[in-house]
A and B are shown apart, each in its own frame.
Chain A
Amino acid sequence: MTEQWAWSLAGGVMIGTAALLLYALSGRIAGISGIGFGLLTGATDRAWRLWFLGGLIGGAWVAALSTGLAATPPPVSTALGLSMAGAGLLVGIGTRVGNGCTSGHGVCGLARLSRRSLAATITFMALGMLTASAIQRLAGV
C-alpha cells in the first residue's frame, strides 16, 4: 500500500484548498464542529452551514463513487455501538468546550498562527495517540 500516502497528501491538499476558499471568499473558518454546532444554537445563519455540510457529504459521495476508496464499516455489534455513542458524546462535548476540532484548530488555526489552536492541536493529538495506544494494549487488538 505504498500509494496510500499519495492519496492522503492529495486529500490533504484538497482539504486545505477548501478551507482557504471559504476564508478567501466568505471570511469564514472551515471548522466542521463549529459549522455543525451553529445549527443547534438557533442562529439565523443556518443556510450557508447546511450548504457547506450538504456539500461535504455530496463531495464524499462523488469521491467514493469515482475512486472506490470508501471504507467498509465493521459488522454491527452492541459493544462497538456503545463505544461509538460514548466516543461521540466525548467528541461533541470536547469540541464545543474547546472551540474546535481537527479542521478548525488543526488546519485553519495553525495557519492563522493562533497560539490557542497550537495548544489545542498538541493536546488532542497527544490524547488521541495515548488513548488509541492504551486501548490497543488493554484490548490486545
Chain B
Amino acid sequence: MSTQLNGYLNMELLRFTTAGSVDDGKSTLIGRLLYDSKSIFEDQLQAVKEASERLGGDEVNLALLTDGLRAEREQGITIDVAYRYFATPNRKFIIADTPGHIEYTRNMVTGASTADVAIILIDARNGIVEQTRRHAYIASLLQLPHVILAINKMDLVDFSEEVYTTIRTEFESIAAQLRLGTTYFLPISARDGDNVVDASTRTPWYTGPTLLQLLETIPVHNSLDDLPARFPVQYIIRPHRSEFHDYRGYAGRVAGGCFKVGDAVTILPSRTRSVITAIDAGTVSLQEAATPQSVTLRLAHNVDISRGDMIVRTDDTPPTLSAQVTLMVCWLNHQPLRTGGRYIVRHTSDETVAIIQKVHYKIDIQTLGQLSGEVRVDMNDIACIRIKTLRPLKFDSYSTNRISGSLVLIDENTFETVGAGMIVTDLEDENFSI
C-alpha cells in the first residue's frame, strides 16, 4: 500500500464547535477553512457563486457555503446546529456549526456537548462583549478541554497588536475566573484569510500557529484512558445458534478508562462481582478495550445483567450510586421547567423517571451571577437543580467524565428532549458561576 493511503487510514478525529455573535463572521470563517483547505468541490463553489450573484453580492460570499436550508438562505439566518466535515493529511475534522442569534444557548450547548474544542469568535472592533462572556461560560460549563479565542476582522483595526493584546489580557482574566480549559489566542481575518490556513504577512508581531495548524496539533482524548473504567450495558447478545450455544455477551461502548481480559469487575446497581473472560469486537477477540470503543464483554459467571446496568472495574473508584442528583441544566424547550414535575431521565444506557425537587438558582445570563428564590426556568436558561429519581443512577461528576456525568430530561407527554443536565457532586462545582 502506498504511503499516501497508509496516511489516510491513520488519521485522528477532532470535533470542534464555533460560537460567535451575529456578524462576527463565523460562517465566513468556516467557509474560509473549507475553501483554503481545499475541501470545497467545484460544483459546491459554482452553486455558491450563482447564489452570491443572485443575492446581489459583488464577491463570492463564503458564508453561503454553510447555509443549508431554503428558509435560511431566504432570511439570511442559520436555524440550527449543522455539521461540516473536512480533512487535512493529518486529521479529519467535524465542525458543529451553531448560529449566533436568539436560541444560541440551546444550540451552543448542543454543539459543544460532543466537541473537544470551542472556537469563540469576536469582532476586533467591538472587543469582548456580553455574548463573548456567555460563550466562554458555556464552554466552561460543558467542560471543553480547549478554547480558541479567534479575534476576527483584524483588517478593520489595521492589524493592531495593541487591540489584540488588550482583548487577550481581558479574556485571560475571564478564562481564569471560569476555570476554562487550555486557551489559545489568534488574530485573524476570516474574509481575507489571514492566519486561518496560511500565516499572515500583515501580523508580523504574531508568531504563533495559524488556526488550522492549531487544530491539527491540539491533543485529542488525552485523558480518557486514565479515568475509572465505566461500561454502560447497551444490549445483550445471545445468538440462539448451536455453534454459540452458551454465548452471552454484554454489548456497549467504553465510557471511561480501559478494560482488560482478566479484570475483576463489579456490576451496578446489583454490586455483583465477576471477571472479564473475553472482549469481542465483531469476529475479533481483543485483550483490552479503551474509551470510546464499542465492544462486547463476556464474564466468568452467569450473572443477571440487563440494559441500563453499568460494569465497572472493581479496583477503580466506584461511581456514585444515588437517587438524589444535583445538576446544572440547560433548558431546551418552549415549555418552562416545572418544579415538582415528573420527567423521563436518560443517562448513559439507563432510563428512569425523576421529579424535579428544587431549583437552587438560575444563572443570570447577562451578569453570570446566581438568581435564587422563586425563579422561572425558560428555554435557553441555565439552572442548578436537584432531582429525585425512581431508581438510583450510577454516575460520576460531569467534570470528571462527560459521558457518565451527563443526562437528558424528556417530557413524559410530548417525548421531546427538554433539558440537558451536567451532574455536579461537590459544593465547589455546585457554586460554579462567576
Report if A and B associate in a common complex: no
